[in-house]
Amino acid sequence: MRLIQHKREAFWFYRFLSLGYDRWVNPLFWTPAMRALALDAARLEPGLKVLDAGAGTGFTTEGIVARVDAADVTMLDQSPHQLHRSRAKPALAACRRVLGDAEQLPFEDDSFDRYVSAGSIEYWPDPQQGIAEAYRVTRAGGTALVIGPVRPANRFARWLAEAWMLFPPVSDYTGWMEAAGFTDVRVVELAPDWYRDERVPYALAVSGVAGAGASPAGRAAPAEEPAPSRVKFAARFVAGSAAGAAFVPIAAVLALRARREKRAAS
């Protein structure tokens, strides 16, 4: 398991990351333009009940409530610190907030017309179980949308990514969706302006249509692995946080270069 893929480690990782998530992370890695393109695949419209699983500070939720009434949107996250930060956003005031686990959703079957999860799958110890849960809570004919990063082609970036958390290859996303029972599975490639690698996409928005009944991939979520000792936890947490933090200056340099190239071309 990757360094920040254990739920306890992810909890504390976001305890600190939540302080600057909207200011430092989203502008580089998950932009409004990427969000808009991804959410088009969810076919959102007023009157639909929507779950945002792994809602965090509500950046993706802000894009959802621009298309759906906020009172019909439920935000779920395992981090109380992230959800607390979301309360500072006026557009999200009417949203319901639930503390919970994406792999064991605390909702009845067929509870939502749409399911959206952005930037959460990389922390799931069992992605297939999480997507089976998406199928379970999405009504028949409803759409589920999973947005997440892709395994980098660059060897150094891949080493950092795989030490940090889950970066699945493209085939895993579609395979998980189809195994869970989703049909009409579609893929939209996403990338910030600074991304230049043509070998693999930066991220994906993968959507599918839910059918009736339980997911064929659904099962009782396995018990999480026992938490490591305090010393081991501290070492894993520091190493994982350092691997994740390394992406910020790399992305910042590439973003500056992209801006210079754009200005030079204009």
Query: What local confidence, expressed as pLDDT, does residue 188 receive?
Result: 97
**Residue 217: its pLDDT value, please?**
93
Helix intervals (H) in 147-201 = 155-164, 170-180
Of 105-114, 165-174, 187-196, 213-222, highest mean pLDDT:
105-114
At residue 90, does pLDDT exceed 70? yes
Average of per-residue pLDDT across 84-103: 95
Residue 94 in this model has a pLDDT that exceeds 60:
yes
Options 2.40.110.10, 3.90.1300.10, 3.40.50.150, 3.40.50.80; CATH of 7-265:
3.40.50.150
The pLDDT tens digits for 156-169 are: 777 777 766 778 88
Question: What's the whole-number mean pLDDT along residues 193-219?
Answer: 91
Average pLDDT, the chain: 84
The pLDDT of residue 125 is 85
Please say if the pLDDT value at position 14 is more than 70: no
Comparing 5-14, 42-51, 148-157, the range with the smallest average pLDDT is 5-14
Least confident of 135-139, 164-168, 196-200: 164-168
Contact between 3 and 9 under an 8 Å Cβ cutoff? The reply is yes
What CA–CA distances, in Å, run from 234 to 7, 132, 187, 239, 240?
14, 32, 38, 8, 10
Domain range annotation of the chain = 7-265
Question: In the predicted model, what is the mean pLDDT of residues 75-80?
Answer: 92
pLDDT for position 183: 98
Q: CA–CA separation, 59 vs 64, rounded Å?
A: 9
For residues 75 and 97, the answer to whether their CB atoms sit within 8 Å is yes
Question: Radius of gyration over alpha carbons of the chain, in Å?
Answer: 18
Do 137 and 113 form a contact (C-beta atoms < 8 A)?
Answer: no
**227-259 as b/e, with b when 16 or more CB fall inside 10 Å?**
eeeeeeeeebbeebbebbebbeeebeebbeeee
Separation between Cα atoms, residue 38 and residue 52, nearest integer Å: 13
Q: Is the dihedral of CA 10, 16, 19, 25 positive or negative?
A: negative
Q: What torsion, rounded to 10 degrees, do the Cα atoms 248, 251, 257, 262 define?
A: -120
Q: How confident is the model at residue 128 (pLDDT cuts 50, 70, 90)?
A: very high
Provide, rounded to the nearest whole percent, the portion of the chain with pLDDT above 70.
Answer: 73
Strand pairing report for 96-99 and 112-118: unpaired
pLDDT of 82 reads: 86
Pairing between β-strand 138-149 and β-strand 203-209 as defined by DSSP bridges: antiparallel
For residue 221, what pLDDT is reported?
A: 59
Average pLDDT over residues 43-56: 97
